[in-house]
Amino acid sequence: MNSKAALLDMIRAQPFFHELRKFRLERGGRGWIRSGRPLLIAALASDPKLAEVGTRPILILTDKPSTANLIADELQFWVESRPVQIFPAPDPLFYEPGAWGPEIRAERIRVLTSLAKRALPGETKGAAAPLIVAPLRAVMTRTIDRKAFLKATKILRVSQQASPTALARLWRETGYAGGEIVREQGSFSLRGGLLDVWPYTEKTPVRLDFFGDDLDAMYTFDAATQRNTSRAERILVPPAREVFTPALADGTFADIETDEFMIPLRNRIQACLLDYLPSNTLIVFDDELRIMDQADDIEEQAERQRGVSVFDHLLPEDFPQPYVSMSELRDRMESFDLLNLGARGETEDDNAANFSDFEPAERFGGKLSDMVQAAFQSEAAGVPVTIVSRQSARLQKMIDAALLAEEELKPPVVLNGTLREGFRLIGENGEARAQLWSDQEIFGWERPVPRRKTQRAVETSENGIDEFRPGDWLVHIDYGIGQYAGIVTRSIDGSSKEFLKILYAAGDELYVPVHQADRVTNYIGPDLSEPVPTRLGTTEWLNVRQHVKEKVVEVAEDLIELYAKRQVVDGYAFPEDSPWQQDLEGAFPYFETEDQKKAIDAVKADMERPRPMDRLICGDVGFGKTEVALRAAFKAATAGKQVAILVPTTVLAQQHYETFSQRFAPFPVTVEMLSRFRTASEQRRILADLADGKIDVIIGTHRLVSADVRFKDLGLVVIDEEQRFGVAQKEYLKKLRTKVDVLTMSATPIPRTLYMALTGARDISSITTPPDDRVAVITHAGPYSEKLVRQAILRELERDGQIFYLHNRVQSIYVVKQQLEALVPQARIGVGHGQLPEKELSAVMDAFYRHEIDILLSTSIIESGLDVPNANTLIADHADALGLAQLYQIRGRVGRSTQRAYAYFFRNTKSTPEGIERLDVIAENTQLGAGYSIAMRDLEMRGAGELLGHKQSGAIAAIGFSLYTRMLAQAVKTVKEIRGVEIPDEDIAVTREMGLLFDPITVELPLDIGIPESYVAERTTRIKLYRRIAAVHDSMKLEALRDEFTDRFGPLPEPLGNLFYQIQLKILAERIGLSAVVKEAAAIVLRFPPLPGNVETRGLEDVGQGIRAGKNAYWLTGLDFETDDWREAVLARMERVAKM
């Protein structure tokens, strides 16, 4: 046997498969074990003897979403010739108000489109029919009828006639979100003759370029850069939702968003997924008995929810049923071929009840030599073995090594992948015919939760730019602190220009030209107090800046001295990666993000150098910092060095211990834990083994820095959340840094240069990219509601998930437990808090990890680093008493899988304004990677003083956080150059543009400049675009930005073209070293910065041809300002001056 196909062929050759092929098992299956079912479906899906095999869709119906995800994932492994799709159940329960998550919408629309378009001529020619896996509730959920769906689906081709406004109205009606810019699927944007749209069925958005009502051209474009990428000829645009929003009588739409709760009201026909299936579809029940039981539970829960909602006047009594009942589904299924893979029903004939075609496979518990020997013995006995493992490369090496010793052996097939479990295939005579082994049999590993890549909103160039809102305090680099008053238009010498208006002390006003918008930043001070506005026309701001400059130079010198000292300390140079390292990393069940890869590479490079590593890994909650630490620990351990992993809490120590133990299980690496979960005698044994070198990796809390802890040969220390350790422990860790490699991890994101100042010139790696499958957490903040709590728990239990319930008061935690038991009696509840005896707390946490508990009711001991992917609902009462960073860390406990996660933060009835504001901030910032935004808002709310300490907080108050970090970075760059210390500029977040900020250039020309509202209507976007244009200091980047504007918004209007021209002159002026380019009388003057007092002239040479030299300026003369020719002349002459 040499492939997946061979195993599938063997299954198809079994006598029982002939019965399967005839679909005689619709009422009672043979009760095949779960690990065999995906292969049976795969064998059917690719069965050459089955009529219409390629064009026959297969619907696999499961009881719960978790089962559907597992089956879909394993089908994708076995079936390579046909698409496998999941049709998910919506997030809200039946009769529960609320919109569906975008991922749910997207996956459902893709499935409906793939089925509906089979009715369109030419759309499915030659296309393989899909395998659709759906949990029962997804199929019960009502949807729009197929006829209406097809009618709303548009196929557009280049050169056809279509009205862009009519298309925009149709897409708005069918669920697309209109906006200034298309950043995510399910949205569109109309700007003049350009219409952008991104259907859920397309990997990239599409730009339609109309000339009147003629579709002139079509392009795909990059959502991040908004630049066109390639030409397209046609696009199919299906609806974006399963409920439509009818236009009002005047053709406009109501402001109230239509969500899927309205489906039964808007869609009169009771349609469901079954109505989209072609008549030749095969419906497979994963387990009919379980599905029928689940149907009873779903319908009973729905009717209970309906009764409560009607009683509370949240629903009218005549509200239509939002689902199709199981009895109706069974009636509709009668026209399809049906197959049940689960156990037979009680009324079935029992003659074949004991017949077993699959049985569980042998287990080896990590004993790899036994496994290899068993595989060869099985092959020799004529029972072929297929191994599917995340460790395929390593297992293949072991098998190859055994073959070298005995060439006549027949090897098993080894495939790279991950399955839930293996099996033995049993023939009619009861003898094994084939074996399939997974990591479960070989290592005892649980199969990781399947993850699917999700399409998230793309970060465009404007996203990283802070908003300016009227009333905000701003800092102008040259004029100081003032209050923003909006964008204003002013006419100067007959030319219309836009300015940012800033109010200063004593009623002073400053009008900042839009091409200098990069010189203005938001003000964040050291505390909550409002800043004192600067008085214009005085030396006040100059004096403040000079004082701060002296302070930041002192800080920079300290940093460089620390950095230089570290370069000369001798340490241990670890060897390059071993084959075992490659095996460990190859077994990682997910894809590393680019940031993760860079961080891992940087850590390894540090470890292989002869100086001690001191690197900080900064990454948002759940972005994969632990994996970086795990790989570093393995590299050190396999090189013969010991590793200490220091964590802030006992609970986190326990989790890390289990994670590291499981991942290192196939290798001769000993992992231990030292915390209060260990008894006194266990601790004594561990300490002795540690001193003798019998332990390779030790994980512990502050107990690890006790005086009685001795290592035989410590090589690496990993510190998780160092800021949570006390002063004494930090001093101990500081001493370690000069001797061994130290890797620190933090989930508090702040600017890199500031990190250098806070952490003593460490090397820094930032992980800012979320894992591909991660989805944002839906966050609710408000007063406590028992109904919401019950709904949230029931929703999570229905999808077989778990719940964190945070109650941060030990004295009343058992009262809350009693309330929860009365509210949801079917839920299994465990209590965890810091005052529990060690063994009891450990047992509760273990039970939660193993899903023996549905709800973990705990104090804030869950705050740090816990990773339970199956727990996707968090409920926190009295959440207003928690700090903002704490709230964010706690919310990070959920949303660690592909499931949509929910966080409910309930406030006290007597909340403080500050507490309410913290909850508002956490509810606002739900996007992935929101940690930076929250950290900055935390700085705004609490100030930066606590973060920075006394030495730097005064400087922050004087000039604001943003300008301080810029000045600090610039000072570090200057000091390192003076001292000749090699630090890459990117390590201290220094850019060339940063230096240019401190040398302003004035460009004043007789031109109308600005971005007209008719070109970009949304004011916030215009300000951000102004700031982007102003921040360009490179001609090629300016040209790329001009092309981006043309792609996104159409041809540049004259005032915007003029603005780009001014920036082009500013870039040339920077090259020449000018301070101003201005019109004076009939000339353009290129003025240099003022000369020192004792110097009368700059000694400029006369260039001729309309360029006259003065004492400190060039005068461009003979220009005709009556025509536009002067502009090209100025550019050409400045180019000549730049080349001198």
Highest mean pLDDT among 517-531, 724-738, 848-862 belongs to 848-862
Are residues 384 and 305 located together in one domain of the fold? no
- How many residues are given for the chain? 1140
Of 908, 927, 946, the last residue of a domain is: 927
Mean pLDDT along residues 238-247 = 89
Residue 996 burial (C-beta neighbours within 10 Å; 0-12, 13-18, 19+): middle
On the question of pLDDT at 742 being above 70, the answer is yes
Q: What is the pLDDT of residue 528?
A: 58
Across 511-517, average pLDDT: 83
Q: Tokens representing 521?
A: 């930043």
For 571, 765, 929, the CA distances from 602, given in Å and listed in that order, are 17, 8, 22
Q: Say what the pLDDT of residue 327 is.
A: 94
The mean-pLDDT minimum among 62-71, 909-918, 1088-1097 falls in 909-918
Domain membership flag for residue 1078: yes
Question: pLDDT confidence of 947, banded at 50, 70, 90?
Answer: very low
> Average pLDDT in the 242-262 region?
74
Residue 91 shares a structural domain with residue 27: yes
- Provide DSSP, 227-245: -EEEE-SEEEE--SSSS--
- Is 403 domain-assigned? yes
Instruction: Summarize pLDDT for 381-406 with one digit per residue, the tens.
Output: 999 999 998 888 888 888 988 888 78
Question: How much is the pLDDT for 29?
Answer: 64
Stretch 317-338: mean pLDDT:
92
| Claim to verify: residue 330 and residue 376 sit in the same structural domain | no
Residue 631 reports pLDDT greater than 90: yes
- Pick the closest to residue 505 from 477, 532, 474 (CA basis): 532
Say yes or no to pLDDT of 904 above 70. Answer: yes
pLDDT classification of 526: cutoffs 50, 70, 90: low
Average pLDDT over residues 239-264: 78
In terms of pLDDT, which residue wins out, 984 or 901? 901
Between 770 and 439, the higher pLDDT residue: 439
Residue 621 belongs to a domain: yes
User: Is residue 949 very low, low, confident or very high in pLDDT (cuts 50, 70, 90)?
Assistant: very low
Asked whether residue 778 carries a pLDDT value surpassing 80, the answer given is yes
Angle, CA of 149, 795 and 894, to the nearest 5°:
105
CA atoms of 40 and 342, how far apart (whole Å): 12
| pLDDT at 212 > cutoff 60 | yes
326 and 418 inside one domain: no
Residue 284 sits at φ, ψ, to 5 deg, of -110, 125
Domain assignment present for residue 416? The answer is yes
Which pLDDT value is given to residue 66?
Answer: 85
Portion of the chain with pLDDT greater than 90, in percent: 33
Residue with more model confidence, 348 or 489: 489
Per-residue b/e over 685-714, b at no fewer than 16 CB within 10 Å? ebbeebeeeebbbbbbbbbbbeeebebeeb
Please determine, for residue 86, whether its predicted confidence score (pLDDT) is greater than 90: yes
In the prediction, which pLDDT does 518 show?
A: 81
Measured CA to CA, the distance from residue 515 to residue 1009 in angstroms comes to 9
The predicted structure's pLDDT at residue 798: 80
For range 895-915, the mean pLDDT:
81
* 639 — pLDDT class (breaks 50, 70, 90): very high
Domain identity same for 597 and 721: yes
Q: What is the CATH number of the domain that holds 1067?
A: 3.90.1150.50
In a domain, 767, yes or no: no
Would 1062 be classed as within a structural domain?
A: yes
- 333 and 367 assigned to the same domain: no
Per-residue confidence band for 918, with pLDDT thresholds at 50, 70 and 90: confident
The pLDDT value recorded for residue 916 is 84
**Same domain flag for 786 and 728:** no
Q: Does residue 879 lie in a domain region?
A: yes
Residues 916 and 798 in one domain: yes
Domain stops at, among 927, 959, 984: 927
Q: Taking 50 as the threshold, does the pLDDT of residue 7 lie above it?
A: yes
| CATH code where residue 596 lies | 3.40.50.300
Output the average pLDDT for the chain: 83
Closest by CA to 243, choosing from 112, 348, 350, is 112
- Judged by average pLDDT, the poorest of 124-128, 278-282, 320-324 is 124-128
Q: Are 638 and 665 in contact (CB under 8 A)?
A: no
Mark whether 806 and 868 lie in a shared domain: yes
Q: Count Cβ atoms below 10 Å from residue 879 Cβ, excluding itself.
A: 27
Q: Inform me whether the pLDDT recorded for 1065 exceeds 60.
A: yes
pLDDT confidence tier of residue 491, bands split at 50, 70 and 90: confident
The secondary structure of the chain in percent helix, strand, coil, rounded to multiples of 5, reads 40, 20, 40
Provide the pLDDT for residue 51: 65
Contact 41, 131 (CB under 8 A): yes
Task: Report residue 456's pLDDT band, with 50, 70 and 90 as the boundaries.
Answer: low
Q: What pLDDT is stored for residue 953 in this prediction?
A: 58
Domain's final residue, options 397, 427, 443: 443
pLDDT for 100 beyond 80: yes
Quote the number of domains for the chain: 5
Of the candidates 778, 720, 743, 747, the residue with the CA atom closest to the CA atom of residue 932: 747
pLDDT more than 70, % of the chain: 86
SS (H, E, C) 155-168: EEECCCECCHHHHH
Domain range spanning residue 718? 564-741
Q: Specify whether 614 is located in the same domain as 731.
A: yes
In a shared domain, residues 914 and 1051: no
Decide if 353 is inside a domain. Answer: no
> DSSP code of 63?
S
Are 364 and 323 within one domain? no
Flag the least confident range among 3-17, 324-338, 639-653. 3-17
C-alpha distances in angstroms, 769 versus 456, 466, 754, 766, 1107? Answer: 12, 19, 21, 9, 51
